[in-house]
């Protein structure tokens, strides 16, 4: 495969409908959208940095996938690497007429259950959003905590009182609690069944892994996000008996191949993974969908539907219906940018 052309658009769009978390509320999203084209006109789409992408046109780059790490130092830039790998795999899929999942072990399912984010909504607001979402077929919800032990516990207990059954509730502190606070919070919510507690404390907390183990001993499954970037992180967390669920973001781990490896490490240990893509466009989300489709279905909802309106500059072949993402037939990862709209929205790189 020889890449004959690269195009990059620098896009900034409003982030409407975003739910807040302890990091604040995102109001605008800045992204770089890449299109690769081979000599036969096949395309590959990703989200990437311009300078690295242009080097793929160099004559010596005969095997782009194998050459990624020779193009630049991606240390501290896993999102840039992920976007580039995604575009190359998408191009390979479109060139061969095969879905991206074929490079990840093959598709094992054709649909994915989706969750709905509640952010830091108050108890009353969260209960109302859950009611509306249940009517639309969504039954898994993600509530942000990590701000105040008592208030956060009251929100969890209030939701459980309103919906004792029929709702899967996962909670995420984004590492906002100290160890003692996380343990007090867990004691406070008691047996208010939660699907998992994501990142109770930050990875920099001195007793981080011990806190995870104590929470697991209380009967609350622990999910890891900020503690999980690489396959080595995954192996360490499992060895330390500190996690039950991997929350995998392609922009953190460097691309679909590493994401699949991390998910496989957790699966081999009898654990599970959730794929998350909260801020990316359809283009990057489609790569997450491809990885999730290559994993066995354990009934757990994915976090790939935290959508902002993307119809302005991108489209995908997948369809959302009744709280599920239904896989669309076709090659590659199934998403593409709309070139004319991208031209109008951005400063285009040539």
pTM: 0.92
Catalytic residue among 129, 142, 249, 252: 249
Give me the pLDDT at residue 83, please.
Answer: 93
- Domain formed by 103-335, architecture: Alpha-Beta Barrel (3.20)
User: Is the predicted pLDDT of residue 245 greater than 80, yes or no?
Assistant: yes
Looking at the DSSP bridge assignments, the partners of residue 24 are 21
The pLDDT > 90 percentage for the chain reads 74
**pLDDT (0 to 100) of residue 168:** 97
For the chain, give the mean pLDDT: 90
| Mean pLDDT score, 158-163 | 97
Least confident of 12-26, 152-166, 176-190: 12-26
CA distance 200 to 185: 9
Per-residue DSSP letter, 165: S
Contacts of 323 (CB under 8 A, 6+ apart): 113, 114, 133, 136, 137, 138, 139, 301
pLDDT bucket at 181, cuts 50 / 70 / 90? very high
Q: For residue 62, what pLDDT is reported?
A: 64
For the chain, where are the E strands, in sequence order? 3-14, 28-38, 43-47, 111-113, 116-119, 140-144, 168-172, 197-198, 222-224, 245-248, 272-275, 314-316, 319-321, 324-326, 335-337, 347-349
| Residue 298: Cβ within 10 Å count | 11
3-class DSSP string for 269-334 = CCCEEEEECCCCCHHHHHHHHHHHHCCCCCCCCEECCCCCCCCCCEEECCEEECCEEECCCCCECC
With a cut of 50, say whether residue 348 has pLDDT above it. Answer: no
Residue 334 in this model has a pLDDT that exceeds 80: yes
Q: Is the pLDDT of residue 60 over 60?
A: no
pLDDT in tens, 291-321: 999 999 888 999 997 654 555 789 999 999 9
Mean pLDDT of 216-224: 97
The residue ranking higher by pLDDT, 182 or 70, is: 182
Q: Which of 11-25, 105-119, 195-209 has the lowest mean pLDDT?
A: 11-25
Q: How confident is the model at residue 32, as a pLDDT? A: 87
Residue 39 has pLDDT above 50, yes or no: yes
pLDDT on residue 349: 43
Catalytic residue among 129, 142, 144, 324: 144
CATH 3.30.390.10 residue window(s) in the chain: 3-97+338-349
pLDDT of the residue at 28: 77
Other beta carbons within 10 angstroms of residue 28's beta carbon come to 8
Determine whether 249 is an active site residue: yes
In the chain, which segments carry CATH 3.20.20.120? 103-335
- Assign domain 3-97+338-349 to a CATH class: alpha beta
Q: How far apart are CA 28 and CA 19, in angstroms?
A: 13
For the chain, the maximum distance between any two Cα atoms, rounded to a whole number of angstroms, is 64
pLDDT at residue 67 in the model: 82
Residue 160 or 51, more confident: 160
The pLDDT of residue 121 is: 95
Is 144 one of the annotated active-site residues of the chain? yes
173 CB-contact burial (10 Å; exposed 0-12 / middle 13-18 / buried 19+) = buried
Q: What is the structure's pLDDT at 154?
A: 97
pLDDT digits (tens, 9 = 90+) for 98-117: 999 999 999 999 999 999 99
Residue 14 confidence class, pLDDT cut points 50, 70, 90: confident
The label of the residue with tokens 């193009």 reads: 71
pLDDT range class, residue 350, cuts 50, 70, 90: very low
């Amino acid at each position: 495969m020889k890449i004959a052309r690269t195009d990059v658009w620098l896009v900034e769009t409003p982030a409407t409908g975003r739910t807040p978390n302890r990091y604040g509320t995102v109001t605008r999203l800045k992204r770089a959208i890449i299109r690769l084209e081979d000599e036969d006109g096949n395309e590959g789409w990703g989200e990437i940095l311009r300078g690295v992408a242009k080097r793929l046109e160099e004559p010596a780059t005969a095997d782009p996938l194998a050459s990624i790490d020779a193009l630049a130092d991606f240390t501290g830039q896993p999102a840039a690497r992920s976007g580039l790998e995604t575009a190359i795999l998408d191009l390979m899929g479109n060139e061969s007429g095969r879905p991206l999942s074929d490079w990840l072990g093959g598709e094992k399912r054709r649909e994915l259950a989706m969750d709905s984010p509640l952010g830091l909504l108050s108890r009353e607001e969260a209960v109302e959003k859950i009611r509306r979402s249940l009517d639309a077929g969504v039954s898994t919800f993600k509530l942000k905590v990590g701000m105040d032990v008592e208030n956060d516990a009251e929100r969890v207990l209030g939701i459980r009182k309103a919906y004792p059954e029929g709702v899967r509730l996962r909670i995420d502190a984004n590492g906002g609690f100290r160890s003692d606070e996380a343990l007090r919070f867990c004691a406070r919510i008691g047996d208010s069944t939660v699907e998992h507690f994501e990142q109770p404390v930050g990875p920099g907390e001195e007793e981080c892994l011990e806190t995870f183990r104590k929470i697991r001993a209380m009967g609350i499954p622990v999910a890891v996000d900020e503690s999980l970037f690489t396959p080595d992180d995954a192996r360490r967390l499992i060895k330390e008996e500190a996690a039950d669920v991997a929350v995998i973001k392609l922009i953190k781990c460097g691309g679909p191949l590493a994401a699949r490896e991390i998910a496989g490490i957790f699966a081999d240990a009898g654990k599970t993974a959730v794929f998350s893509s909260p801020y990316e466009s359809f283009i990057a989300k489609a790569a997450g969908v491809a990885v999730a489709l290559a994993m066995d279905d354990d009934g757990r909802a994915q976090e790939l539907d935290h959508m902002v309106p993307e119809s302005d500059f991108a489209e995908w072949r997948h369809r959302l219906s009744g709280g599920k993402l239904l896989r669309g037939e076709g090659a590659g990862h199934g998403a593409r940018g709309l070139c004319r709209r991208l031209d109008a929205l951005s400063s285009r790189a040539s």
